[in-house]
Structures are given as C-alpha cells and as structure tokens.
Structure 1
Amino acid sequence: MKSVIPLADRLQPRSFATRSLWVVSACALPTLLAWPWRDFLDPANTAMLYLLAVAVVAARAGRGAAIATSLSSTALLDFFFIHPRYTFTVGDVQYVVTLAVMLVVALIIGNLTLMLQREKEAALEREQQSHALYELASRLSGATSLEQLAIATRDFLHDSQACCGVLLMSHNDVLKPVESAHRLDSTLQTIAAFAALQRVETRTLLDDSRYWLFLPLHGTTYVRGVLAIDAGVTSLDALDARRPLFEAIAALVATAVERLHFVDVAQRAQLQMTDERLRSSILSALSHDIRTPLTVLYGMSDALAQQPLPPDVRETAEAMREQTLRLNGMVSNLLDMAKLRAGDLRLNPEWQPLEEVVGASIKLLGLALQQHPVQVTLPPDLPLLKFDAILMERVLCNLLENAAKYAPPGSAIRISASTADGQAAISVCNDGSRFPPGNLDRMFELFERGDAESNVPGIGLGLAICRSIVEAHGGTIRASNNENGICVTFTLPLGEPPAIEPEDGDE
C-alpha cells in the first residue's frame, strides 16, 4: 500500500545549504546565458530569464528562497546589464522603473507559484487519502469478526501511516483490547476509558515525547469502543495535520463495528424466531397426536378401577388412572401453549368480581390443596375487573398448583390483592421454597423449571401459560423471593367498571 505522506511533511523547508544552492544556481544560470548577448538584448528581455528562475525556485525551494532570488536577480540585472555596467548606479531613469517592476513581479510570481505548488500537493494528498480510505473501507466491509476488524485497522495504520493502532471494545463497561497480544499500560488504559466515558477525542504526550490519540467509536446509542493511535510524532502541529485522516479512519471503524453488532443482533433474532417456530410446531404436533390415545388410556384405566378387583390390583389401577390424568394435564398445557404461541387465543372479557374466580380455582384444586391451608386476603373495596373468567381461572389454578407442589406439607398458601396506579395486583405466595437466584424472568420461559433436578413432576409450562394469558389481558407478571418463600404477582388493568344499580329490595 502506498504511504500517505502528510502535506506538512512534504512541504517541510529544505536545509539551508540546499536552499542556498537553489538561489545561487537560479541567479547564476540566467546571468551566464544572457551575458554573451548583453549588447543585443534589451534589459527588459533579460529580466524575463530572471523571472523564470524565480518561478522555478519558488516551486522547488520555498518562499524564502524565492524572495532571495528576486532580490539577487534584480541586483544582478542592474550590475551586469544596465548602463553603466559593473556598478549599481542607474544611468537612465526608465531602468529604475524596470528594476522596480521586475522586483515586484518576481515577488508576485514567487508567491503565486508557491500557492499553486501547495494546492497541487494538497490535492495529491486528498487523492491519496481518499484512495487509502477506500482500501480501508473495502477491508473493513469484508471483516466478519472484531478480531478481523482490529487486524485490518492495525495493518492499515502501519502500512499507510507508519504508526501503531490498538482497537479497544467495551465489555460490561470495561475497555479491553480486541487483540490480546496488544495491550496498553495502565496510564493509556485509563485515558482510553476517559475518552469513552466522556465521548470526546483525547490526546496525550508520553515520556518519550510521542503523541497518542484516542478516538471514541460512536454508535447509534453509545460509545462501543476506542481506537488508540500511537501517532509517532513529537510535535502537536504534525499531529493536528494528521488528525482529519485519523478521525476518518475512526469513523470507518465505528461504522464497521456497528455493522457487526447489528448483524449479530439480526442473526440472534433469526435464530430465536426459528427456535420459537420449531417449538410451536413440536408442541402442536405432540399435543394433537398424544391426546387421542391418552384419552383412551384414561378411560380404560378408569373403567378398570371401577371393577371388583383384589386390593393390590385396584391400587395399581388407581395409580394408572392418576398418572394418566396427570399426563393428560401436561398434554393440555402443551396444547394450550401451542394455541397461545400461534396467536389463536380469543378473549371473552367481562366485568366480574375477582373473589368468584379465586373461589372456583381453589375448589377445582381441592385434592391438590388438601395439605395446604389457603388464606385469601382481598380488600372489601376491590372493584370489578374485566377479564376472561375461564382463562383467569387457569392462571390461578397454575399458580396455586405450583405453590402447592413446591411448598412443604402443612405450609400455608396465601392469595392477596391490592390496587395502585390504575392496576390490580394479585399475588400467590407460599412458604418454604425458593426460586433459583439469578434472572427470575427466565421462570416464565418455555420448559423452564425452578429446580431442574427436582422429583416434583412437571415440564415447565405452567408459568409460561400464565404469562401469555396475563399479557393478553394487558397485564404483567413477575416472580420474587421473600423472607419465607416465593411469590408470583400478576397485574390487571382496573379500567372503569360499570355502575351497579341497587335492586328494589335494597333501597
């Protein structure tokens, strides 16, 4: 890759000896060329040769050399070609004008030539920078990981700018180099963290008088990292001359990092969608294919249990019926979950009191709640709530069943309700059990169980069904550990229930 040499480096003044050589040569050559023709050429024509020399010196040796050449050329023209010769005395007044105009024109030509040279060098530098940035963008566009991104950036800075670059990315609010082999000392690491935190460009001068530049990589929402560049320069002017290019490089790197981030997000979302679609298909297939033979099996076991049988055979038949009934409940959960995931849930909401649904749920779970006294605490002023009674009964049954399964025998199960901020909060709590520490929201995912190694039967669908039903009603559900056990709380919107007109006998 062709190195991009900054304009300030290309136009650095040459050494004094080199500039002096240019001045002497530019003055001597026109003098030697014009001297044999001194009697035939008008001094104004000879002045053209000196002006040409001034233009060449301005383009090759800089402003100071061009001024020196202008003054020297004027003096040589007067000394060798204007009568009286070999003296600086001017015999004709018109030559005074000639010499003055020549000096002014020489200075103007020198300045204009120098300006054109600078414009040419600047255009060449911009073209080289654009080409280099295009090559970097091509490299970064093909990167599929942060490691490839860091290597491409490091190689580009080394090849085109003869400097060192380290890419640091933010991981859990900590900046770490992408390449483990390239680490920064504690001082530079602290400065990089400051640049990322303040979202501003930062520079620092090390003990060896080398400047480092820290450029934050701005994303759409936050700073994703920092590009640390050892500029390899010892002067602030040289660093400022390179700063626009370094900022452009950082912008390209930030865009590439952002692209990799969103590609990763899109891939994860695609995988999640495929996973959810596969789960729903499996749930639907299993629930429909198993339900029919399971119903037949339950009917046969129930009929067998009704027959006059020896005690041990009757006990086996009743155990078969209970296990078949439990398996039927699991398949029902699978079928319900498949319907909920497919969006086939149809609500039939009505305004009704919560205590009726609570009472019906406790009655349905009478056998499962035999060893657990249920304490219901509902405020007397609890308004009517709008919900689908059958689905809400399913929510309460699942919560009560879970509370009973994981609570020690004899412990109480508590149902309570309260209102605040336009929401009614209903809680089901037990004593003696705990949710696993960590992310409690995972408890409401499919096939997630509180204790994967527990002997308690279940496949981890109850809380997932509860969340789907509650969210369909516009509410939320959460799990928590308290001092004595666990609580699952869900909310329902209060809304504006209709006014209840008193009956004639109540007036």
Structure 2
Amino acid sequence: MSRPHAPAPLSTAPRRRWHYPLAAAGCGATTLLTLPLHDWLEPVNAVMLFLLTVVVVAARLGRGPAVMASFLSVGLFDFFYVPPRFSFAVSDIQYLLTFAVMLTVALLIGHLATGMRQRAEEAQQAARRAQALHALAHQLAGALTAEQVLHHLQAFMQDQLGADLHLWQPSLDHGLVLLQGDHTSTPAPSASLTLLARSIAQDSARPHAHHVQDEQGSSDGAGTHHVLLPLTGSTRNRGVMMVSLSTWAGPNAPDAQGNLRHHTDMLDAVSALAATALERLHFVDVAHQTELEVRTERLRNAILSALSHDVRTPLTALVGMAETLSLLQPPLSPQAQEMAEALRGQALRLHEMVSKLLDMARLQASLQGQRSHLPLRLAWQPVEEVVGASIQLLGTALAHHRVVVDLPSDLPLIQLDAVLMERVFGNLLDNAAKYAPPDTDIHIALMAEAEHLLVRVRNAGNGFPPARLQEVFALFARGEPESHVPGMGLGLAICKVIVEAHGGHIEARNPDDGGAEVCMRLPLGTPPTIEPEQP
C-alpha cells in the first residue's frame, strides 16, 4: 500500500522537534543579554525578563517548550543571579520562595499563553474550514452531473485531510451503485464495505457516522480507517459517502481514527452538502422530464385537433356525395348502388373515428386549461333517460344484439352532464357490441350503493386480456392489439376522463362466468327535494 502524502493538519511533527531547542536558546539568549547588566539590574527585573521569555515561548512554540522554559529560567536565575553565583547553592532561604513563586508564575503564564495560542489556532482553522466549506458549497451549486459532485468532494477531502472519498448512489433496482470519479488510482471499496453501505442506505435508524478499521494492512504496518455517512435528503436517502484515510506504523505515523473523529463536524457538513447537491440534481431531472412530457402532450393534442378538423371537412363531403349517388335518377345499377352504400358506410366509420379524436383532444385541452377540472354542465336528472338516449343514438350498431337493462324503480336523481354521460354509455355499448358474438345480449345493471351509483355494462365476449386490465383505459390502447375489430382505442379513454371529471371511478374486469364487464361508480350526492304538485 502506498503511503499518502502528509496533509497540512498532520505534518506538524517534524517542525515540533525544533521547538525545545528554540525554547532553550531563548532562555540562553535572555541570560546572555542580562548577565552584563548584573551590577545595575535588580534580581526582580531579571525575573521579569525570564517570565517574558516564558510568555514568548508559550505563545510561539506551545505548551511543552513553555514548561521546559519555566524550569530552565528558574535554574538559570539561580545559577547566575542568586548568591553564591555560578552555583546552585542557596545562601538565603527566602530565595527558595522566590524560586517557587517564579516557577508557579512561569507555568501559569505559559499555560494561559498556550491556551490563547491554541484557541487562536482553532479559530483560524475553523475560519479556514468555513471558507473551504463555503467554496465547496459554491462549487456543488454549479455542478451539473453527479460525477462533477464527486470530483469536487474528492478534491476537498484531499486538500483538507489527505483522505480518499467514494460515493454510492441508489440504483433503479433499489440497490447501490458506486459512482466513478476522476481518481482512477484509488482502489475500489471491498465487498464488505459495499454491503455495509447498502445496509446504511436501507436503515435510516442507524447512527449518523460509521467508523470502520481496515484490519488487513501491508507488511510495513499500513492500514486504513473508513468513515461511512448516509446522504440523507429531504425526501429519501440519496446515497452513502465513505471517507478513507491511510496510516502507517512509525514514530510520526498519524492517528487516522483520531483525526477523522476530530473532524466529525466537517464530515457531517460535507455529507449534508453532498446530499443537497444530489437531491437538487434529482429534482432538476424530474422537472426536465415533466416539462418534456407536458410539451409532448401539448404537441400531440395540437396535432390531434388540427388533424381532426382538417379531415372532418372532406369526410363530410364524402358522405354527402355517397348519399347523392344513391339518390340519382335514373337509379344506379344494383352493383353500383351496393358500392355507394359501402362507400357511405366506410365514410361514416371514418367520420366517427375522427369525431372521437376531436373529442379526446378537446377533453385533454380542457383538462390542461382548467387545472385538471373538466368544465361540466351539471344538472339533477334521472340516469335511466341518459341510458335510453344512448341506446337510441347507437341505432344500427346494436342491430345484432339485445340490450337488457336492469333498472330498479327507486333510483335517485344523479347530478351529471347528460351530453357527456351519453357519450360514456354510447362508447361502452359500442365496445360491448363490437366484441360480443352476434345475437347475444348486452346487460346494463344499475344499483344504488351507500354513496355511489354502480353501473355495470357486460357482454358475452372473450373478456379483456388479464394482463392488460389496467391498460385498456389508456389512450390508443386496445384489448387485443391485432384484433380484426375496427377501432382506435379511444372509447374507453374518453369514458375514463369523463367519469373521473364527475368524481367517479371506472374499471374493467372479467367475471368468473365469462364475458367482459366495465364497472363505474358515480357519486350520489344529495338530490333536491321534489315537492308534490298541488291538485
């Protein structure tokens, strides 16, 4: 395992080796400066100069050199200033008190100066870290891809801690996928770390940070300490971030675990920034996809509307000319008359398809313009009249089928748009007639439930494909894609839009005894009270 370069926070040990000789040199320099002034300088002033030296050493070199300077200053003062001079003997017992007070004051001053120095360094380090986090947040705010987010995070960790960083993101199969970055020389995480990352991503109740020590090191005592943090977003987990710091055995080996635990707050802040950046990218993708879908839907509706209008006019003329051919005098031959009738029938079928396209385009345009609320002309009226009008409108489409209506006598009034609901019943009956065998019955059953009116339309056909029961109401969807029955897959889609606009629900099902059935529920509401007529 190759040793990483020593980052700034871990590279102070070589410089500290010179602190103690510098502290001793400072005490010696104070002695050399004050010794020629012994005859004019009072001992108390010499003590002040030695205490000043201790303050400077504590402020510049740290606690250990300050303690050494305190003891060394007392010894030098005793050796050079206290009689008998140039010996450690003390002729007057009061100098022992002087030594004790001098040592105590020197240690106290050194401790206070060291504390101030340490707090100043911590404040500077916190300011630098805050500035680095601010720069990282600015970089992540401009990232356009997850790879760019990973690149900025890896560069930040290398600059601040000399650590490696890996990032897992959720995959489409609800797993985790390792995001590949620019640092290709960094080894991929082991299988055990990948499993731990998956468990962290799935279990939101776990602790915030997870420290893992790599037990398998190289022959020179190298090892790796890992910290795994979940990237928790506002809606769900956005992945797992792992920070890895390598260590090696030796007198100057850094404590990776202690160093990473010391920077827990910074790691938490980085993970929060990473989660925010990844969540922002996710919502940007969702917004782009939604905008694309809206534009696609608008374009499709515009094409349908334009096509329907442009095709409807020549179709109307075609139907009129076919009817004119059948009314010519003298009459056409039987063969020509049959061809004119066939031409008229096919033109009417095509006209019906175009009318459905135009209706669907209008309905969807109304939904978009009215914020998903179709404008309805609601009125309280008996639903049996709507059913009867729909049966009469179909006419020849029901020539080979008998419609059986199960209609209770106590049905309440229903608030609905009669024109649109006639279209619903007409589409349901038309579909039932198309897919039912000839000379079979089509059943319509109405029943009042607690809060809804249940309507069932059923035929004796082969039923809906079981795997596509939820898809038959989609636009241009058909029960049998390769069916010989003519149609465009718009009838049930129109029914779904109209029923849901009324606050109801529609579904397709296959009864156990065969056939196909469409069930819809319409809200009953509270009909108005009808007062009896006065005699």
Does the 8 Å contact 1:4/1:128 carry over to 2? no
Q: Which residue of 2 aligns with 1:176?
A: 177
The yes-or-no answer on 1:252 pairing with 2:284 is no
Does the 8 Å contact 1:54/1:106 carry over to 2? yes
Identity between Structure 1 and Structure 2 (%): 44
Q: How much has 1:421 moved relative to structure 2? A: 5.6
Q: Which residue of 1 aligns with 2:305?
A: 284
1:148-167 mapped onto 2 (5 Å cutoff): 148-167=148-167
The yes-or-no answer on 1:323 pairing with 2:346 is yes
2:340 is paired with a residue of what secondary structure? helix
The yes-or-no answer on 1:358 pairing with 2:387 is yes
Q: Which residue of 2 aligns with 1:118?
A: 118
Q: Which residue of 2 aligns with 1:477?
A: 506
The TM-score normalised by the length of structure 1 is 0.86
Q: Which residue of 2 aligns with 1:194?
A: 199
2:469 & 2:60 partners in 1: Cα distance?
A: 72
Q: Identify which range, 118-127 or 337-346, moves more after superposition.
A: 337-346
User: Which amino acid counterpart does residue 45 of structure 1 have in structure 2?
Assistant: N
Q: Identify which range, 368-377 or 493-502, moves more after superposition.
A: 368-377
The yes-or-no answer on 1:89 pairing with 2:93 is no
Question: In the superposition, relative to structure 1, how do residues 455 and 70 fare at CA in structure 2: closer, same or farther (>3 Å)?
Answer: same
Residues 369-420 of structure 1, C-alpha deviations (whole Å, 9 max, x = no match): 3445545445555433211222111011112222333445566544344555
User: Which amino acid counterpart does residue 393 of structure 1 have in structure 2?
Assistant: E
Q: How much has 1:322 moved relative to structure 2? A: 1.0
Q: Which residue of 1 aligns with 2:109?
A: 109
User: Which amino acid counterpart does residue 434 of structure 1 have in structure 2?
Assistant: F
Question: In the superposition, relative to structure 1, how do residues 41 and 219 fare at CA in structure 2: closer, same or farther (>3 Å)?
Answer: same
The yes-or-no answer on 1:21 pairing with 2:52 is no
1:430-445 mapped onto 2 (5 Å cutoff): 430=459, 431-435=461-465, 437=467, 440=470, 442-445=471-474
1:179 & 1:46 partners in 2: Cα distance?
A: 66
Q: Identify which range, 274-283 or 472-481, moves more after superposition.
A: 472-481
1:210 is paired with a residue of what secondary structure? strand
Q: Identify which range, 410-419 or 31-40, moves more after superposition.
A: 410-419
1:55 & 1:354 partners in 2: Cα distance?
A: 99
1:218-237 mapped onto 2 (5 Å cutoff): 218-232=232-246, 235-237=256-258
2:491 & 2:104 partners in 1: Cα distance?
A: 96
Residues 260-279 of structure 1, C-alpha deviations (whole Å, 9 max, x = no match): 12212222222222222222
Question: In the superposition, relative to structure 1, how do residues 377 and 240 fare at CA in structure 2: closer, same or farther (>3 Å)?
Answer: farther
1:291-330 mapped onto 2 (5 Å cutoff): 291-307=312-328, 308-330=331-353
1:458 is paired with a residue of what secondary structure? coil
Q: Which residue of 1 aligns with 2:214?
A: 206
Question: In the superposition, relative to structure 1, how do residues 36 and 134 fare at CA in structure 2: closer, same or farther (>3 Å)?
Answer: same
2:156 & 2:440 partners in 1: Cα distance?
A: 69
1:189 & 1:439 partners in 2: Cα distance?
A: 41
2:130 & 2:227 partners in 1: Cα distance?
A: 21
Q: Which residue of 1 aligns with 2:425?
A: 396
Q: Identify which range, 115-124 or 204-213, moves more after superposition.
A: 204-213
2:151 & 2:402 partners in 1: Cα distance?
A: 66
Q: Which residue of 1 aligns with 2:55?
A: 55
Q: Which residue of 2 aligns with 1:460?
A: 489
Question: In the superposition, relative to structure 1, how do residues 482 and 20 fare at CA in structure 2: closer, same or farther (>3 Å)?
Answer: farther
2:103 & 2:289 partners in 1: Cα distance?
A: 75
Question: In the superposition, relative to structure 1, how do residues 187 and 378 fare at CA in structure 2: closer, same or farther (>3 Å)?
Answer: farther
Question: In the superposition, relative to structure 1, how do residues 160 and 64 fare at CA in structure 2: closer, same or farther (>3 Å)?
Answer: closer
Q: Identify which range, 472-481 or 385-394, moves more after superposition.
A: 472-481
1:328 is paired with a residue of what secondary structure? helix
User: Which amino acid counterpart does residue 497 of structure 1 have in structure 2?
Assistant: P
1:362 & 1:400 partners in 2: Cα distance?
A: 8
Does the 8 Å contact 2:165/2:242 carry over to 1? yes
Does the 8 Å contact 1:470/1:492 carry over to 2? yes
User: Which amino acid counterpart does residue 369 of structure 1 have in structure 2?
Assistant: L
Q: How much has 1:339 moved relative to structure 2? A: 2.5
Residues 137-171 of structure 1, C-alpha deviations (whole Å, 9 max, x = no match): 23322322223323332343334432222222223
User: Which amino acid counterpart does residue 174 of structure 2 have in structure 1?
Assistant: D
Gaps of 5+ in 1: none
Does the 8 Å contact 2:20/2:68 carry over to 1? no
Q: Which residue of 2 aligns with 1:140?
A: 140
Q: Which residue of 2 aligns with 1:334?
A: 357
Q: How much has 1:4 moved relative to structure 2? A: 7.3
Q: How much has 1:301 moved relative to structure 2? A: 0.9
Question: In the superposition, relative to structure 1, how do residues 124 and 410 fare at CA in structure 2: closer, same or farther (>3 Å)?
Answer: farther
1:438 & 1:81 partners in 2: Cα distance?
A: 105
Q: How much has 1:242 moved relative to structure 2? A: 1.7
Question: In the superposition, relative to structure 1, how do residues 59 and 371 fare at CA in structure 2: closer, same or farther (>3 Å)?
Answer: farther
User: Which amino acid counterpart does residue 174 of structure 1 have in structure 2?
Assistant: G
The yes-or-no answer on 1:65 pairing with 2:65 is yes
1:427 is paired with a residue of what secondary structure? strand
Question: In the superposition, relative to structure 1, how do residues 482 and 71 fare at CA in structure 2: closer, same or farther (>3 Å)?
Answer: farther
Does the 8 Å contact 1:297/1:324 carry over to 2? yes
Does the 8 Å contact 2:380/2:413 carry over to 1? yes
1:295 & 1:337 partners in 2: Cα distance?
A: 19
1:202 & 1:497 partners in 2: Cα distance?
A: 62
The TM-score normalised by the length of structure 2 is 0.82
User: Which amino acid counterpart does residue 520 of structure 2 have in structure 1?
Assistant: F
Question: In the superposition, relative to structure 1, how do residues 46 and 237 fare at CA in structure 2: closer, same or farther (>3 Å)?
Answer: same
User: Which amino acid counterpart does residue 235 of structure 2 have in structure 1?
Assistant: T
Question: In the superposition, relative to structure 1, how do residues 365 and 92 fare at CA in structure 2: closer, same or farther (>3 Å)?
Answer: same
Tell me how many residue pairs correspond in the alignment.
499
1:342 is paired with a residue of what secondary structure? helix
Does the 8 Å contact 1:195/1:202 carry over to 2? no
Runs of 4+ in 1 over 6 A off after TM superposition: 10-15, 502-505
Q: Which residue of 1 aligns with 2:219?
A: none
1:395 & 1:416 partners in 2: Cα distance?
A: 15
Q: Which residue of 2 aligns with 1:488?
A: 518
Does the 8 Å contact 2:245/2:256 carry over to 1? no
Gaps of 5+ in 2: 217-222, 248-254
Does the 8 Å contact 1:374/1:412 carry over to 2? yes
| Root-mean-square deviation over aligned CA pairs | 3.3
Does the 8 Å contact 1:210/1:230 carry over to 2? yes
Question: In the superposition, relative to structure 1, how do residues 306 and 140 fare at CA in structure 2: closer, same or farther (>3 Å)?
Answer: same
